[in-house]
Structure 1
Amino acid sequence: MVQGGRGRRVWAARGLWAGAELAVTLGLLVLLLVAHQLWWTNREARAEAGRTVHSLEEQWGKGGRSLVAMPPAAGGEQPEGSASVAPDERVSVGEGPAPRRPSTGTGASGAKGGPRGDQAYAVIRIPRIGVTAPVAQGISKAGVLDKGYVGHYAQSAQPGEVGNFALAGHRNTHGEPFRHIDELRAGDQVVVETRDTVFTYVVDSVLPQTAARDGGTIAPVPRSDVKPSYGYSEPGHYITLTTCTPEFTSTYRLVVWGKLRGSRPR
């Protein structure tokens, strides 16, 4: 009986030791996963995004083909060196027709329709929060967002067009270009550069939290379907920045809206 009791105690001790080793191993794996998500993915994505920005600027400097053309002015072509200023103002909800969207012009391949899917074709700069990142067509994770790029909702307007130039970016991990867009305030600048033109938008309004499926926030005339007191009701030249909130979750969306102040040749 004594030997049997001692044997059970030995096996119990071995079981506890094995359990402790397993817990430590699992803890280390979790720490490695966290380190990978919070440090390594940011490092890799920021490096990739930086290379892409440099490549675009180098291409533009050599006079590469424009990926996004300026929308034509009323009654003719856009005069060289002229500025486009959005005359729209925030008004009460419930009025105004949806704007017509001009053509995006000639894409990289020479065919009409704008940039191809996952193609980086512009650079966004947000001075207040120190952001410089490529803008790519589409919002796929693997092809765009996880590379540290800012993604363009493909059915929304292009830079400078009448309508809503709507963008998405990671708030945490994979370069997290939109980590601090909650710090943006009315009057802050958002600059978008294409091959031919530099567009300057000015932050106008922030929707701190809305549902992930609130499609009204990226509509041509952006207005929240969930919180309709936030948004606009007249056509204009808008920009929309969207990201997940609260941090380290994807439960809701944070939305920043701005209006086009003007543009100039690059």
Structure 2
Amino acid sequence: MARARNRIAGTISVFGELLITAGLILGLFVVYSLWWTNVLADRAADKEGDQVRDHWADTGPGALDTKDGIGFLHVPAFGGGEVLVKKGTDTKTLNNGVAGYYTEPVSSALPQDEQGNFTLAAHRDGHGAKFHNIHKLKSGDPIVFESKDTWYVYKVYKTLPETTKFNVDVLQPVPKESGRNKPGRFITLTTCTPMYTSDYRYIVWGELERTEKVDSARTPPAELR
């Protein structure tokens, strides 16, 4: 009888240790996914961002340079900072702490185009989490894109807190789901939702309000001061 109790106690003890070990492994994975990947992504994005600005300074005024980063996204509602924007929305690109513009399934317009939809994606959690605070954007809030020689000032006019990840209509040149039915100059931000999942997509639409030329001091528009 005593031996049976000892075997049961031993089994429970081993099982308890396994649970503790599994909990530690899970905890370390969460720390890696939600903190350390942010550290690594921010380092990579900062390095690339510095290279873009150095390139701009070396080459002087001119058109958008799409060979590397094309510019920087500034969203005051996100709490400050800037987000480097690059071509593509594949994992390799977005994991480096940047926002990427779509090349598929619907090709993005660029800010300087006379018409179209500048469509962007970024992670909401981990890998820089550049769109973590997308839920804080409200109608009328500014979204500013900074290129080498121009500030593009957009204003949010519609949000879609949840839609299927297969809804590509939100990326169309005229995003009719946002309430627009005529060509214009739009911006669309997309990311995963709910937080810590990738089940659905959160969408924010904005429309270009004005542009400002970049001066020698790179003085930001009023929305960023």
Task: Quickly name the TM-score band, shorter chain normalised.
Answer: 0.7 to 0.9
Gap runs ≥5 in structure 1: 69-107, 109-114, 225-229
The runs of at least 4 consecutive aligned structure 1 residues that moved more than 6 Å come to none
Cα distance between partner residues in 2 of 1:66 and 1:37: 39
Deviations 1:173-229 (A, max 9, x none): 1111111121112222111122232211111211121111111101000123xxxxx
- Structure 2 match to 1:172: 125
Instruction: Give aligned pairs, total.
Output: 209
Whole-Å separation in 2 of the counterparts to 1:182 and 1:20: 40
Q: Is the 8 A contact 1:123 1:134 kept in 2?
A: yes
* Aligned residue type for 1:32: L
**Matching of residue 186 in structure 1 with residue 186 in structure 2:** no
Confirm or deny that 1:212 pairs with 2:165: yes
1: CA distance between counterparts of 2:102 and 2:2?
68
Which residue is equivalent to 1:18? Answer: 14
| TM score, norm. by length of structure 1 | 0.73
**Partners of 2:31 and 2:198 in 1: CA distance:** 19
* Match among 102, 107, 110 for residue 153 of structure 1: 102
Secondary structure class of the residue paired with 1:177: coil
**CA-atom RMSD, angstroms?**
1.8
- Report if aligned partners of 1:185, 1:203 keep a CA contact under 8 Å in 2: yes
Uncovered stretches (5+) of structure 2, i.e. residues with no partner: 215-225
Inter-partner Cα distance in structure 1 for 2:61 and 2:36? 34
Q: Distance in 2 between matches of 1:191 and 1:19?
A: 55
**Normalised TM-score (structure 2):** 0.86
Partners of 2:158 and 2:200 in 1: how far apart?
17
Residue 123 in structure 1 maps to residue 72 in structure 2: yes
What is the alpha-carbon distance in structure 1 between the residues aligned to residue 198 and residue 165 of structure 2? 8
1:243 matches 2:196: no
* Alpha carbons 1:217, 1:231 under 8 Å: kept: no
Query: Are 1:256 and 2:204 an aligned pair?
Result: yes
Which structure features the higher share of helix residues?
Answer: 2
Q: CA separation of 1:207/1:201 partners in 2, compared to 1, >3 Å: closer, same or farther?
A: same
1:123, distance to aligned residue in structure 2 (A): 1.0
Please say if 1:33 is aligned against 2:36: no
1:9 aligned to 2:5?
A: yes
2:180 corresponding residue in structure 1 = 232
Percentage identity across paired residues of the two chains: 35
The equivalent position to 1:137 in structure 2, one of 79, 87, 102, is 87
Q: Secondary structure at the match of 2:17?
A: helix
Cα distance in 2 for residues equivalent to 1:160 and 1:53: 20
Looking at both structures, which has the greater relative contact order when contacts are Cα pairs under 8 Å and sequence separation is at least 6?
A: 1
Q: 1:39 to 1:236 in 2, by over 3 A?
A: same
